[in-house]
Amino acid sequence: MGKSLSVNLSRLKSTFEMSNKIGGTKNGGIHRLTFTEEDKQMRDIFVQWMKDSGLKVRVDDFGNIYGKREGKNKNADSVMIGSHLDSMPMAGRYDGILGVLASLEVVRTLNDHNIETERSIEIVNFTNEEGERFKPNMLGSGGITGKHDKEFIYNVKDYEGITFLEGLKEIDYLGSKNNRASHVAYFIELHIEQGPFLEANKKVIGVVDGVKGSSRFKLSIKGVSSHGAFPNDFRNDALIAASEIALVIDNQPDIFQDNLTTSIGVFEVYPSVQSQTSENVEMTFDVRHLNGNIKRKAINNIKQSIEEIANKKGVEVKLEQTWDANGQNFSKKVIEMVKDGAESYQYPYQYITSSPLHDASYIADIAETGMIFVPCEKGLSHREEEYVSFEDIEKGVNVLLYATQKLANL
Amino acid sequence: MGKSLSVNLSRLKSTFEMSNKIGGTKNGGIHRLTFTEEDKQMRDIFVQWMKDSGLKVRVDDFGNIYGKREGKNKNADSVMIGSHLDSMPMAGRYDGILGVLASLEVVRTLNDHNIETERSIEIVNFTNEEGERFKPNMLGSGGITGKHDKEFIYNVKDYEGITFLEGLKEIDYLGSKNNRASHVAYFIELHIEQGPFLEANKKVIGVVDGVKGSSRFKLSIKGVSSHGAFPNDFRNDALIAASEIALVIDNQPDIFQDNLTTSIGVFEVYPSVQSQTSENVEMTFDVRHLNGNIKRKAINNIKQSIEEIANKKGVEVKLEQTWDANGQNFSKKVIEMVKDGAESYQYPYQYITSSPLHDASYIADIAETGMIFVPCEKGLSHREEEYVSFEDIEKGVNVLLYATQKLANL
């Protein structure tokens, strides 16, 4: 079993071709934000595809879409597979989308071979994973796992003041609370790596052992602007303090050498004019690690350095934490099945910890969860250039097929 | 002589009060850009004041205004004193303005005491010293000293496309080329320090020995933007490279310990969004020193570090020099007279090199030139908070009076 079974790559390609047209950008990317016309179009087609494959489709009160393929054992909890169909602005064709379309292909392949499973298999498309239009991200999976109150989610507003609930109604995907995922034994999400390791190590399958926890901060630095001719040692230059802090933040992974990731996002300098030094810098940064203790240690290092640099440079700092998510270890059983899948097809694989967050990191609270990564070129994601070869996609979907089938019969 | 003579402080104060009203801001600053309605108003009043003091007023083809007090010796070259009445946007009340109003007070004081001098004394208001509306700065003094062609100056445009010549005509201050400063033996400019040294050293008079040369650069850094979760060591983060470069630039004065000044002005980061690392940084910086060799060495240090950091971080850099001015040593004779003045009144003084540029640094090419500095609070200039006490102003103007009179009788 399993080993010989393989997905239909040409069918999967044509499924992708349709997806590429919905919100497709002229540079080969996808622009498909939550609850926009493009999101609705893609959802409608996805629902139709699921119905055509004999699945029982339902929508919950956060707009998450499920399609169920009944198993032989009506009392057994199901195996859920899927991801999200929404995208970042001017983003890539694969992030999220791969996991959903691959799940459909898994079901279609089982149908092709008239394979029944003990457990039911459910495909899922989570709402608003990217969180670009409605912040924060992962509101669909966050809603059903209790990470956020329903009231909070419904009242989240986009840039124009439109609420999540209004957006949901607008595209006609407000379903019932009764339809939320429940009685799920296992969840598997196939996703592009969004990092460089598989490519660098010439591996095709990433057996994901967990998702890093992520803490985000906003830092305001207030110094004193002066004439550019003012002697350097007498200045309280916000930019120079911020530059030192940036290097400290960037240096933490070298200190811990332990799969820690840090990044600086927003970095705004005022007044930013010639021959005038800086008064203010506003910046954001994040710190990611699977292990909460190591993450905390790195954050404390950074905080201490910020204080020291602020004192040395005579600038005022205000640090605010804007997000905190714990790291999540994945299910040993799911990890084992993914590894077995890679071995059974003789695909080169490696264990890997996800640095970005995924719906899987929330779903891990309600089901035994795992992920499968496939390599993406140069690790680039959330960009129109995002690229995954269909050779690798085929392998990733085969492993998903293998693990799903195994878990559905356990 | 000299020692007993002192300017009329209450008259000088009332002259300042009028200046403060023309382009005065609600926070106690001045907003008086070149060739605006405010500039014209201030010029008109200044011309009237000079005429009231018996001066022979003329305007040259760059809008520089002169007022001449005839000396006894018609063949002797004159002593010129003055500065500029224009300001930076939302700037201070003293920068430039002090030098012009003080010069008027010097003439008024000489008139009060019916003191004749051998040489003629000329007051001057230079056009567009600040260069905010019409770039570059110091176009008035740069025009008469041949730093810039007349054609170049006339065609410089403001943000709205209005040329220097159009602006000059608009306020009716287009004079004749024959009126440019000529036959000037000495030039003295009284100015606020715009730095912290006099205040820090508890000195009232800065005997300025020269103006630092200044080189300005524009640096573009192009890296690769990635997901914030992308491992740090695999990134080509433009901001991290720029931060290292910023610290290298800021560190040069520590290497040379020799009155070198460096500053970073513009610093723009793209895309500057949360959880996404940086693709590009655009920055400007400058390097200042009196001695061209030391300035060059510092610039070479910086260039070499930029190359090294770019290689290490895998980012592309483009460096462009946008400005270069040589350092200017001032006249020994003028320096001596300024020092003698401070000593004769028993004012605490120190020698100092000007880090910012001034009209004096151009005029040094056509006349023996010097400057007098008075302390400004915290060294802050080009800002509404700019503050100089009238106690210190009085002392500075007394020294200007002393040096002017001495040089006019040499």
Tokens describing residue B380 = 């802050």
When pLDDT is averaged across residues A200-224 and rounded to a whole number, the result is: 96
CB within 8 Å: B379 and A194 = no
CB within 8 Å: A267 and B226 = no
Provide, rounded to the nearest whole percent, the portion of chain A with pLDDT above 90: 93
- Contact residues, A window 274-303, toward B, CB-based 8 Å cutoff: 274-278, 284, 286, 288
B52, pLDDT greater than 60: yes
**Which residues from chain B sit within 8 angstroms of residue A380, using beta carbons?**
224, 226
Q: Is A257 on the interface with B (CB under 8 A)?
A: no
Chain A interface test: which of B137, B221, B230 (most A C-beta within 10 Å):
B230
Tokens describing residue B375 = 């302390």
Report pLDDT digits (tens) over B385-396.
999 999 999 999
Distance from C-alpha of B311 to C-alpha of B317, rounded to nearest angstrom: 9
Q: Does the CA dihedral A146-A149-A150-A156 come out positive or negative?
A: negative
Strand order in the sheet with B213-222: B261-270, B280-289, B213-222, B316-325
Cis status, amide bond into B348, omega within 30 of 0: no
**Mean pLDDT for chain A?**
96
Distance from C-alpha of B66 to C-alpha of B47, rounded to nearest angstrom: 9
Tokens describing residue B317 = 């850099």
Tokens describing residue B42 = 């201030």
What is the value of ipTM here, to two decimals?
A: 0.81
Helices (DSSP H) in B34-122: which residue ranges?
37-52, 97-112
**Binding residue per annotation — A95?**
yes
Rounded to the nearest 5 percent, the helix, strand and coil shares of chain A are: 40, 25, 35
Report pLDDT digits (tens) over A76-126.
999 999 999 999 999 999 999 999 999 999 999 999 999 999 999 999 999
Nearest to B229 among A230, A272, A288 (CB): A288
When pLDDT is averaged across residues B197-219 and rounded to a whole number, the result is: 96
Report pLDDT digits (tens) over B392-409.
999 999 999 999 999 999
For residue B371, report the phi and psi dihedrals to the nearest 5 degrees: -140, 155
Chain A interface test: which of B224, B243, B305 (most A C-beta within 10 Å):
B243
**Which residues from chain B sit within 8 angstroms of residue A265, using beta carbons?**
228, 272-277
CB within 8 Å: A226 and B273 = no
B191: closest CA among B101, B277, B262, B117?
B101
- Contact residues, B window 355-394, toward A, CB-based 8 Å cutoff: 355-357, 378-383
**Binding residue per annotation — B31?**
no
B4, pLDDT greater than 80: no
CATH class of A213-325: alpha beta
**Which residues in B18-158 belong to E strands, given as ranges?**
56-59, 65-69, 78-83, 121-125
Stated as kind and residue range, the H or E segment containing A123 is strand A121-125
Q: What is the pLDDT, as a whole number, of residue A274?
A: 87
- Angle ∠(B86,B91,B96) on CA atoms, nearest 5: 40
Q: Is A237 on the interface with B (CB under 8 A)?
A: yes
- Residue B285, SS3? strand
Tokens describing residue B83 = 């500065």
**Binding residue per annotation — A183?**
no
The CATH number, out of the four listed (3.40.630.10, 3.30.70.141, 1.20.140.10, 3.40.50.300), of the domain defined by the range A9-212+327-409: 3.40.630.10
Q: What is the pLDDT, as a whole number, of residue A102?
A: 98
A1, pLDDT greater than 50: no
Q: Is A256 on the interface with B (CB under 8 A)?
A: no
CB within 8 Å: B232 and A253 = yes
Q: Answer whether B292's CB lies under 8 Å from B326's CB.
A: yes
Helices (DSSP H) in B257-366: which residue ranges?
292-313, 332-344, 359-363
**Which residues from chain B sit within 8 angstroms of residue A233, using beta carbons?**
253-254
Q: What is the pLDDT, as a whole number, of residue A4?
A: 65
Spans of all domains in chain A:
9-212+327-409, 213-325
Q: Does the CA dihedral A21-A26-A27-A29 come out positive or negative?
A: negative
**Which residues from chain B sit within 8 angstroms of residue A382, using beta carbons?**
227, 276
A2, pLDDT greater than 70: no
Distance from C-alpha of A239 to C-alpha of B264, rounded to nearest angstrom: 8
Nearest to A216 among B216, B263, B274 (CB): B274
Report pLDDT digits (tens) over A257-301.
778 999 999 999 999 988 899 999 999 999 999 999 999 999 999
**Which residues from chain B sit within 8 angstroms of residue A226, using beta carbons?**
379-380
B1, pLDDT greater than 50: no
At position B327, the amino acid (one-letter code) is G
- Our CA-based measurement puts residue A212 at a distance from the nearest CA of chain B, in whole angstroms, of 9
* Confidence at A255, pLDDT banded by 50, 70, 90: very high
Closest-CA residue in chain B for A215?
A: B275
- Residue environment code for A41-75, b if the CB has 16+ CB neighbours within 10 A, otherwise e: bbbebbbebbeebebebbbbbbbbbbbbbbbeeee
Q: Is A227 on the interface with B (CB under 8 A)?
A: yes
Fold match, A9-212+327-409 / A213-325? no
Centroid of chain to Cα A35: 18
Q: Answer whether A198's CB lies under 8 Å from A204's CB.
A: yes
Q: Does the CA dihedral B182-B186-B189-B195 come out positive or negative?
A: positive
When pLDDT is averaged across residues B32-43 and rounded to a whole number, the result is: 98
- Our CA-based measurement puts residue A301 at a distance from the nearest CA of chain B, in whole angstroms, of 17
- Contact residues, B window 139-198, toward A, CB-based 8 Å cutoff: 194-197
Q: Is A268 on the interface with B (CB under 8 A)?
A: yes
Q: Answer whether A263's CB lies under 8 Å from A357's CB.
A: no
B3, pLDDT greater than 70: no
CB within 8 Å: A380 and B226 = yes
B2, pLDDT greater than 50: no
Stated as kind and residue range, the H or E segment containing B150 is helix B150-155
Q: Answer whether B259's CB lies under 8 Å from B252's CB.
A: no
- Residue B56, SS3? strand
**Binding residue per annotation — B148?**
no
